[in-house]
Amino acid sequence: MKTHSFLFVLWLMTINLALAQSFKKGTLLIGISEGSTLARYTTSDVYTHQIISEQIIKGLRDPFQIEYGLSNKWGLAISFGNDIFKINPQTFYRYNYASQMKSKTSESILEVNYHFYNTQKWDIALFAGIGCFKTELFDIYSKYLNDSKVVYDKGRISRTGVKLRYYLLNRLSLLAMLSAFNGYSFSDNTKLSDDIPLQRIQTSVKGVTLEFGLSYRVIK
């Protein structure tokens, strides 16, 4: 009799825990955040692998993400993000147009999320993903350079880290993310200078990001 009572209580506790979970199968989450990036920014020759320049620089980040719950533990997400760095184009790309420009990296990543700690108030998940990565150069004083002077690269990126959500309300939560990433891109067929064609330059950005924002549970 005691064994049956214990199993019944355990069953009730399991049901209550499942009902109290903030993330479950069918959940749809939308998150937006801002943060900072610390990265090793490197440019190198594609064929000789000789490094043109390599520096540790800080940047600003503003990602957006959507996640769907495949189960009570696993979620599939799509994230979009930009990192903005101030660089010297003469140093990194041997380009003498300006002494300082903005380098904007953009990414679109497909992520797998594992929600290993999940209660009514807290939701902590590990994530990893791969996706598309590109780099653009902007004039520091205007939105775009003319088409002949924009550096436009395409490549790949991988990112892994941890997400933490704390629910203030039933659907609204604070969001914090810490991640590490590795992105690289190759240039198109335009030329940056007469001595080095742009298509021979690879841009590599590796680093860590820390972000804070808000997340909203649209469904469930």
Q: How far apart are CA 96 and CA 135, in angstroms?
A: 18
Q: What is the per-residue pLDDT for 110?
A: 97
**Residue pLDDT, tens place only, 12-59:** 344 444 445 789 999 999 999 999 999 999 998 887 888 999 999 999
User: Domains in the chain and their CATH numbers?
Assistant: 23-219 (2.40.160.20)
Confidence tier at 140 by pLDDT (50, 70, 90): low
Specify whether the CB–CB gap between 72 and 220 falls below 8 A.
no
B/e letters for 84-123, b = 16+ CB within 10 Å, e = fewer, are ebebebbebbbbeeeeebbbbbbbebebbbebeebeeeeb
Question: What's the pTM?
Answer: 0.81
Mean pLDDT score across all residues of the chain: 83
Specify whether the CB–CB gap between 185 and 35 falls below 8 A.
no
Confidence tier at 211 by pLDDT (50, 70, 90): very high
Residue 184, SS3 per DSSP: strand
Q: What would the two tokens of residue 74 be?
A: 């696993």
Residue 91, SS3 per DSSP: helix
Query: Can you spell out the DSSP letters for 118-176?
Result: E-SSEEEEEEEEEEEEEEEEEETTSS---GGG--EEEEEEEEEEEEEEEESSSSEEEEE
* Residue with the two structure tokens 């390599």: 54
Residue 206 has pLDDT above 50, yes or no: yes
**Residue pLDDT, tens place only, 59-101:** 999 899 999 999 999 999 999 999 999 998 888 887 776 678 8
Residue 106 has pLDDT above 80, yes or no: yes
Residue 219 has pLDDT above 90, yes or no: no
Beta strands 64-69; 74-87: pairing state: antiparallel
